[in-house]
A and B are shown apart, each in its own frame.
Chain A
């Protein structure tokens, strides 16, 4: 019989496979902060914009929620991790800004510098 340690290693490998199968290895990963504080600042609406964009045919993007990273005064935050580029964090994102991030950053690869955390 396998030991708990062997079991956990197997479970981890399975978990990583499942994450990969959800499209984790897309060239762009988008994380939207979704803790109570961020939701209160409006991150649910922001998340909605991204998931709607995915439904409307935005491909090669992995969308996930995340907990609060502690940047309370800059919430909601959206993080974009892009293959071969430095990850960026957008702060105080509104649904309108999210739409533009989809159009400009995710579709055209242009980082909207003025909205980044300095």
Chain B
């Protein structure tokens, strides 16, 4: 049975108190009166997160949000909205924005309460493989709006006005990039979507593409129109097979419906998108290396300028943006730059998606307005640290970012505040570290990654990171020397200043920021040969406690025969012989062996 309208009543704890039960009865009564019961479907939703306007009623189509509705208002609403097809202005809340037209994600209030989903507006809502689903949520409307009478220049200035900054990490103003590309005179231009997401623990781009591929495609078509390009390329790593599949399916469906290809929607504008698979080199996320990779060369960066906007793919002007940046474009076009720039802080507009990982209760993908503090993310959305452990640090920006200690928890999240605190926004990885982790070890982990991924073109990055890693390895093995910290600092700053691309320029960040915020731990590793978290196994001391029943398992497990003791009597570890392999610790069934930092 087809019903023409859906009335959604919020039944969250707050609205419920404000008598949504009576509202429901009033709606039912009114529908009965007009004999509309089988044309209208009533939906009860969980908390919509708009408690201050409660009780809230949403009516679709003509998505309208009515706030502070009393049962007495119902006849008027139904008269106007359903019978005359005109939303009732008096009670409507002016919030016709893409981000909250969908209420389904708001059910899980603790997790979603402080979030604001713009980039992820459709993720977890629609079927990503269905173009129909995307169309039903105002999909491709932004494209139609642009093609129905916005000049390319207007599109560029709209993006510029929105204050959107590149979501890939560096935070370059997107509008300026667009303007520069649009200004170039060239017979051919390109648009690239950078989906080469490589930070360990980050999966924002993958989830965006897997949850809502069309929004990226739509953003790119708009970008192509604005700068005068006819060809778009999505550079995505082959390690994301499902995302690739959904993009391919999305592109094919968009072509079939006339959103891609020749003469899009009868406007005379033509645009096409192809997918290029990357082999997973981290450096290919850097734009010039990515361009080299698409051209068929080895993925290595080159000095800028000239910027890709002037001289990019095949030496043609190229507009290159990150997945998340593209996903914001349709929203900016539909809802306007003014609205978009009302979200966030003075210099960072909109929202940012973070992949929350590490020692935190709610690991997952969150999207918050810029200006939200780290504390809110960790404790309100993330639900705090598991097992009552103490918070130690938060690592933002992946291997290019830094670790911030507790004193920075009130830092508002935006490009400039994070940079000032000594980290970066980065692409959005966020790893929470608790007291059980060793900061030297964490720095080593990230440096190991960048060292591995260094392409080798410039010496500071190739040799410098290697030397830094050697020093860090030495520290974690308990062989640190006086002066190592200073050496790390000197090397780090040198690499930062003299490397060719972003990879090298940011590779020392995890080390430098941990030295800055956790210098004591470095000093302990060097002077006391001690790791307070007990994470550096070479420095651990294993001891037998009186829980020992003398079963002899550890004695048999020990490869260097460092354990002695008679059967059924307490055993003992000879610390001079012990090689800290930890086998006794892991094999003991009575928890009688303890590990000390």
B425 within 8 A of A: no
**Binary CB contact string for chain A from 1 to 34 against chain B (1 if under 8 A, 0 otherwise):** 1111101100110011011100001000000010
Residue in chain A with minimal CB distance to B10? A86
Query: Would you call B148 and A12 a contact (CB within 8 A)?
Result: no
Q: Which residues of A contact B1 (CB under 8 A)?
A: 25
A16 to B341, CA, bound (A): 32
Count residues on chain B whose CB falls below 8 Å from chain A CBs.
Answer: 62
A18 to B134, CA, bound (A): 12
Query: Would you call A36 and B240 a contact (CB within 8 A)?
Result: yes
Query: Would you call A81 and B363 a contact (CB within 8 A)?
Result: no
Query: Would you call A36 and B45 a contact (CB within 8 A)?
Result: no
Query: Would you call A85 and B44 a contact (CB within 8 A)?
Result: yes
Shortest C-beta distance, B406 to chain A (Å), equals 23
Query: Would you call B124 and A67 a contact (CB within 8 A)?
Result: yes
Query: Would you call A79 and B104 a contact (CB within 8 A)?
Result: yes
A72 within 8 A of B: yes
* A15-B136, A66-B127, A87-B46 known; A73 vs B361 contact (CB < 8 Å): yes
Residue in chain A with minimal CB distance to B207? A68
Query: Would you call A12 and B2 a contact (CB within 8 A)?
Result: no
**Binary CB contact string for chain B from 116 to 143 against chain A (1 if under 8 A, 0 otherwise):** 0000101111111111110110111101
Contact of A12 (CB < 8 Å), options: B124, B136, B366: B136
A5 to B264, CA, bound (A): 12
Shortest C-beta distance, A32 to chain B (Å), equals 10
A117 within 8 A of B: yes
* A66-B127, A73-B362 known; A4 vs B207 contact (CB < 8 Å): no
Residue in chain A with minimal CB distance to B141? A8
Query: Would you call B132 and A36 a contact (CB within 8 A)?
Result: no
Query: Would you call A84 and B143 a contact (CB within 8 A)?
Result: no
* A12-B136, A35-B210 known; A5 vs B266 contact (CB < 8 Å): no
Q: Which residues of B contact A88 (CB under 8 A)?
A: 107
B432 within 8 A of A: no
Query: Would you call B108 and A71 a contact (CB within 8 A)?
Result: yes
Residue in chain A with minimal CB distance to B115? A70
Size bracket, chain A contacts: 35 or more
Query: Would you call A86 and B44 a contact (CB within 8 A)?
Result: yes
Query: Would you call A71 and B362 a contact (CB within 8 A)?
Result: yes
Query: Would you call A70 and B136 a contact (CB within 8 A)?
Result: no
Q: Which residues of A contact B210 (CB under 8 A)?
A: 35-36, 67-68
Q: Which residues of B contact A18 (CB under 8 A)?
A: 132
A83 within 8 A of B: yes
* A66-B124, A89-B107 known; A8 vs B265 contact (CB < 8 Å): yes
B144 within 8 A of A: yes
* A18-B132, A79-B104 known; A35 vs B43 contact (CB < 8 Å): no
Shortest C-beta distance, B190 to chain A (Å), equals 23
B203 within 8 A of A: yes
Contact of A65 (CB < 8 Å), options: B44, B127, B136, B257: B127
A39 within 8 A of B: yes
Q: Which residues of B contact A66 (CB under 8 A)?
A: 124-128, 211
B105 within 8 A of A: yes
Query: Would you call A71 and B364 a contact (CB within 8 A)?
Result: yes
Shortest C-beta distance, A1 to chain B (Å), equals 6
B521 within 8 A of A: no
Query: Would you call A19 and B104 a contact (CB within 8 A)?
Result: no
Shortest C-beta distance, A86 to chain B (Å), equals 5
* A1-B266, A8-B265, A83-B43 known; A67 vs B211 contact (CB < 8 Å): yes
A118 to B207, CA, bound (A): 23
* A11-B257, A12-B136, A86-B45 known; A67 vs B240 contact (CB < 8 Å): no
A94 within 8 A of B: no
B41 within 8 A of A: yes
Q: Which residues of B contact A89 (CB under 8 A)?
A: 107-108
A69 within 8 A of B: yes
Shortest C-beta distance, A22 to chain B (Å), equals 9
A54 within 8 A of B: no
A35 to B209, CA, bound (A): 10
Q: Which residues of B contact A39 (CB under 8 A)?
A: 242
A35 to B136, CA, bound (A): 21
Shortest C-beta distance, A3 to chain B (Å), equals 5
B545 within 8 A of A: no
Interface residues in B204-245 by Cβ distance below 8 A to A read 206-207, 210-212, 240, 242-243
A64 within 8 A of B: yes
A8 to B110, CA, bound (A): 37
A37 within 8 A of B: yes
Query: Would you call A25 and B242 a contact (CB within 8 A)?
Result: no
Residue in chain B with minimal CB distance to A85? B44
Query: Would you call B136 and A84 a contact (CB within 8 A)?
Result: no
Query: Would you call B136 and A16 a contact (CB within 8 A)?
Result: yes
A25 to B129, CA, bound (A): 20
Q: Which residues of B contact A86 (CB under 8 A)?
A: 11, 44-46, 107
**Most chain B CB neighbours (cut-off 10 Å) among A3, A4, A68, A89:** A4
A89 to B128, CA, bound (A): 19
Query: Would you call B127 and A12 a contact (CB within 8 A)?
Result: no
* A36-B240, A67-B207 known; A72 vs B46 contact (CB < 8 Å): no
Query: Would you call A71 and B111 a contact (CB within 8 A)?
Result: yes
Shortest C-beta distance, A118 to chain B (Å), equals 8
Q: Which residues of B contact A12 (CB under 8 A)?
A: 135-136, 138-139, 141
Shortest C-beta distance, B284 to chain A (Å), equals 20
Interface residues in B131-162 by Cβ distance below 8 A to A read 131-133, 135-136, 138-141, 143-145, 147-149
A69 to B148, CA, bound (A): 33
What would be 25 A-B contacts, judged by CB atoms less than 8 Å apart? Answer: A1-B266, A3-B144, A5-B141, A11-B140, A11-B257, A16-B132, A16-B136, A18-B132, A35-B242, A36-B206, A64-B127, A64-B130, A65-B128, A66-B211, A67-B123, A68-B124, A68-B210, A72-B363, A73-B362, A73-B363, A73-B364, A83-B43, A86-B11, A89-B107, A89-B108
Q: A4-B143, A66-B125 are in contact. List 18 more A-B contacts (CB 8 A).
A: A4-B144, A8-B144, A11-B257, A12-B135, A12-B136, A15-B135, A18-B132, A19-B136, A25-B41, A36-B243, A37-B203, A66-B126, A67-B123, A67-B124, A72-B364, A83-B41, A87-B46, A118-B110
| B contact set with A: CB distance below 8 Å | 1-3, 11, 41-46, 104-105, 107-108, 110-111, 120, 122-133, 135-136, 138-141, 143-145, 147-149, 203, 206-207, 210-212, 240, 242-243, 257, 264-267, 361-367
What 8 pairs across the A-B complex have the smallest Cβ distances? A67-B211, A69-B124, A70-B365, A8-B144, A4-B265, A15-B135, A15-B132, A72-B364
